[in-house]
Structure 1
Amino acid sequence: MNKVLFFVILWAVCLSVPAQAQKFGYVDTEFVFSKMPEYQKALGEIDKFTDKWSKDIQDKYVEIEKLQRAYQAEEILLTEDMKRERQRVMSEKEREAREYNNRVFGYEGLLFQKKKELMKAPMELVNRAIEKVSVQKKLDFMFDKASDFVMLYTNPRHDYTDYVMEELGLDGASKGTPGTNPANKAITNPK
């Protein structure tokens, strides 16, 4: 009898508590960033650093190439000790160039660190805007359409990109998808 009463009470409680669906949405951060002047400025700075470091590396290899041509031109006139010394110098220069290349463009190198530093401010702006929109719209989850997380289908009514753009003070009118979230539009022509 106690088991039956327990299940009846449990069933009544389950029916009396309204089911609460979790609300979610998504944002196309790639589109948002493309419209942000701060992001564009950061990309320009990154390009400047990349160009400078690439030129530095290229200059190192040009110097090595000059040493190799000079060595080849004078090789028959050099003693064995002189040849070994020149080869050692060229090898050392090549090693320095490779190490510099790795230090700049390698895993978590200078370029990675510079990108992280320069992208921090735009990322924080977007994250704050996403958080504010999520709280305002009472969303439980917000996904990034531009991330590695694969979204095979997205219903435009869950697209909150325009709200984030509005929060950032950006114009989202040129986006190739519907301009505003249709879920929040008033129905003007009911059938």
Structure 2
Amino acid sequence: MRMIVDRTPLSTTLPVDPELVKLHIRLEEPAEYPEIETLIRTATAELEQAAQIALLHQTIRVNVIAPEDGRYLRLPIGPVRERPTVRLEGSGFTDFGFMPGVRSLICWGNAFHARRPDHVEIEYRAGFGGTMAHVPHDLAQAVMDQAGLLYQMRSAWTEKPWRHTSPHLSRIAARYRGVAV
């Protein structure tokens, strides 16, 4: 099975307040760092990738090539609250159950196994909401921590060992991804 995932943001809003990020990274003159939005967007992309989530609403398009015969398919990006649209070999398909949540599942009906498709297309909306007010606090904190790390290491490529993600981002991303010990 091969899964190709495409994300399209439905909002241009930032998931955290730039002024809070400036305070978090302890800028002495917050107005002097106009690139803060770039740091926030980069930190957001890193968190979304690591946690397999969408902070703000996004349209997710999934192409599954040679799907497995199992009864379930975990949607790659969450959270998902609304039933996705599914197409098999280009035709609409509705014989499936849906379990919403951060780690959503599609439960294939008997018709899926009878058709044994080579290609499945799934489209859905993922995300916690349309504004920064909808982003859970722990995820907002992870974005701010990662933005702080990016700011701190912006010109120190050879002076210090580079840590790619903040410990907070790693821990929170693992929780949302479903990693457990």
TM-score (norm: length of structure 2) = 0.29
Q: Which has the higher strand share?
A: 2
Quick check: which one's helix share is greater?
1
* TM-score (normalised: structure 1): 0.28
Q: Which of structures 1 and 2 has the bigger CA Rg?
A: 1
